[in-house]
Amino acid sequence: MKYDVLIIGAGLGGLVCGHILSRAGLRVKVLEQGAQIGGCIQSYRRGTHDYDTGFHYVGGLGEGQSLHHVFSQLGLLSLPWQRMDTDFEHIRIGGRDFHLSQGFDCFVRDLSAEFPKEKEGICRYADLLRDTVGQQFSLLRPQGEAASPFDLFERNAWAYLNETFHDPLLIDVLSGASLKMELRKETLPLFTFCHGNGNYIESSWRLKAGGGQIAQTLAEGIRRQGGEVTCRTAVEELVERDGKIALVRCADGEAYEATTVISSIHPAQTCALVKNSQRMKTAYRHRMARLENTFGMLTVSLLLKPETLPYFNHNRYVYRRPNVWDICRPGEPVGGLMISARVPEDGSRYVCQVDLLTPIAWEECARWAETSVGHRGEDYVAWKNRKADECIALAEEAVPGLRDITERRYISTPLTYRDYTLTPQGTAYGLRKDAGDALSTLLSVRTPVPNLLLTGQNLMLHGVCGVTMTALFTCAEILGKPWMWRYVGGEEKLK
Ligand SMILES: Cc1cc2nc3c(=O)[nH]c(=O)nc-3n(C[C@H](O)[C@H](O)[C@H](O)COP(=O)(O)OP(=O)(O)OC[C@H]3O[C@@H](n4cnc5c(N)ncnc54)[C@H](O)[C@@H]3O)c2cc1C
């Protein structure tokens, strides 16, 4: 049977594309190599508890806000979302506490009270965030002038912050909740920084009963709309004939035909799947292979003793010392982390699961890269445990006594992500975007092979919001901009 669209990978990018395209009436099949769907947002079970991996909170779900309409179209708005506190980010730097508030006006008001001399810069920054969030959809507009975010991709975020603000502590505070992106002074584009922060300042939400529901809901929607999602089906070759992908071969021996193929995996891996090609020239393959990946994450998931810690409906961040842009140094103790509490499912006022997340450079775990899960040896286990101990010790600055109330802990590293999702270097945010080289590091959804498209966090934007946005651009290549513009409620947004 020939499909209209075959999608490689059932992570968020692949599933959102599958949902939109099956809704448009196309015959869609999503092929996932793993035992379960979700990629970075899959959950796992230990004992009687589910643990999240790459999802803790999302921004912009409030009515009229950036993700509201699209999430409603995807059937995700009916999930049990819980709005976080107004002061949703608590940031502790070198022993001092600061808060960021959601809602642009509250954000300006509360931060200006803390840094009165910087009020003008804070207002300008809030306007920029508002514009960035508002511009997200404009590139889908079928006619008329679309506001291009390209200028902000070419501006360096660190340089912007230093031009706009005088107090280095304020720069730290504004960046302190940005563990959701790679804070790298040399490269991080201003657009990535504003997009990553702006959606959350619009409004911030946790999901009761975990992030795995996002993938499950999307897959159910795809099936209801006549599409298919299969696990344990690794794509191992894309066969090109007459300049187009004619066949998708899988490791289980199956082969499928499709009019269009969408790959949500790393672009270098996509290139490697196209073994013989007239279209995909060496220069394109080299360009993809040379692109650098962002850092990965180490997560310590804690199961707490019953009724020992009241639930807190905000994130907490702790930095050992000022300069939060410089905490991911190989070989050094953990310099900063995020503490996320899981919404109690039983309505209790106590939390029973807490995650600690800290960025980890690939160099730290590269020496175990050639080994597989369960065969990494004692020195890997010792390294993981040392990192987890450092995380807990630092987290105790914001949650005193955390170690004593911990019943169990589970540790995942960039290698864990690499093993489960096949993502090179276990990168948390896909390919590194470089403001100094935006042309090369921002990837198009198109490839040199006309019926092979890309999607997912490696292309333009990462995170739940970024990957969803990118999926809209991928689908627009198949369904056309007018269809997508209607789908995102474009005209309504302009009113
Ligand atoms: C620790 C961590 C915390 C995060 N927290 C948040 C958060 O709180 N909020 C937020 O918005 N974002 C968060 N993110 C980011 C977010 O999870 C990702 O940006 C997003 O899930 C990436 O989706 P994707 O579809 O691009 O990639 P992936 O999730 O990597 O999906 C790719 C899929 O392709 C499959 N695959 C690979 N090779 C093949 C093959 N050959 N054949 C078939 N299938 C294949 C993989 O198994 C995988 O399922 C976090 C990420 C991490 C790592």
Closest ligand 1 atom to the C-alpha of 39?
49
Residue 472: per-residue pLDDT: 96
- Ligand 1 center to 426 CA (angstroms): 10
Which residue is closest in CA terms to ligand 1's atom 36? 9
Residue 490 banded pLDDT, cuts 50, 70, 90: confident
**C-beta of residue 176 within 8 angstroms of C-beta of residue 398:** no
Q: What is the mean pLDDT of the chain?
A: 94
Counting ligand 1 atoms within 8 A of each CB, the residue from 30, 31, 40 with the most, and so the one to mutate, is 40
**C-beta of residue 301 within 8 angstroms of C-beta of residue 355:** yes
Which tokens is 163 given?
A: 């031009």
- pLDDT tens digits, residue range 333-387? 999 999 999 999 988 999 999 999 999 999 999 999 998 877 888 999 999 999 9
136, pLDDT greater than 90? no
Residue 137 banded pLDDT, cuts 50, 70, 90: confident
Percent residues over pLDDT 70 in the chain: 98
Which residue is closest in CA terms to ligand 1's atom 27? 11
**C-beta of residue 224 within 8 angstroms of C-beta of residue 218:** no
- DSSP 8-state code for residue 182: -
Which tokens is 225 given?
A: 């709309």
Q: Where are the domains of the chain?
A: 2-79+210-291+434-494
Cα 244 to Cα 451: distance, rounded to the nearest angstrom: 6
Residues 19-46: what's their mean pLDDT?
97
- pLDDT tens digits, residue range 199-250? 999 999 999 999 999 999 999 999 999 999 999 999 999 999 999 999 999 9
304 vs 152, residue with greater confidence: 304
Which tokens is 467 given?
A: 């990957």
User: CB under 8 Å to 455, separation ≥6 — which residues?
Assistant: 13, 14, 16, 17, 262, 263, 264, 445, 467, 470, 471, 473, 474
Closest ligand 1 atom to the C-alpha of 250?
42
Residue 174 banded pLDDT, cuts 50, 70, 90: very high
- Ligand 1 center to 444 CA (angstroms): 19
For residue 381, the cross-strand partners are none
Counting ligand 1 atoms within 8 A of each CB, the residue from 181, 265, 454 with the most, and so the one to mutate, is 265
Which residue is closest in CA terms to ligand 1's atom 49? 39
Residue 377: per-residue pLDDT: 87
- pLDDT tens digits, residue range 138-170? 778 877 666 667 788 999 999 999 999 999 999
**C-beta of residue 256 within 8 angstroms of C-beta of residue 463:** no
pTM of this structure: 0.97
- Ligand 1 pocket: which residues have CB below 6 Å? 8-14, 31-34, 39-41, 54-58, 180, 234-235, 264-265, 297, 299, 357, 417, 421-423, 428, 456-457, 462-465, 467
Residue 91: per-residue pLDDT: 98
Cα 325 to Cα 17: distance, rounded to the nearest angstrom: 34
- pLDDT tens digits, residue range 73-103? 999 999 999 999 999 999 999 889 999 999 9
**C-beta of residue 20 within 8 angstroms of C-beta of residue 487:** yes
Long-range contacts of 318-323 (CB under 8 A, 24+ apart): 318/92, 318/394, 318/395, 318/397, 318/398, 319/91, 319/92, 319/93, 319/94, 319/172, 319/176, 320/94, 320/394, 321/93, 321/94, 322/93, 322/94, 322/168, 322/169, 322/172, 323/168, 323/172
Cα 192 to Cα 463: distance, rounded to the nearest angstrom: 11
What's the full length of the chain, in residues? 495
Q: Which fold has domain 2-79+210-291+434-494?
A: FAD/NAD(P)-binding domain (3.50.50)
493, pLDDT greater than 80? no
Cα 468 to Cα 367: distance, rounded to the nearest angstrom: 34
- Ligand 1 center to 113 CA (angstroms): 38
**C-beta of residue 222 within 8 angstroms of C-beta of residue 18:** yes
Residues 420-427: what's their mean pLDDT?
94
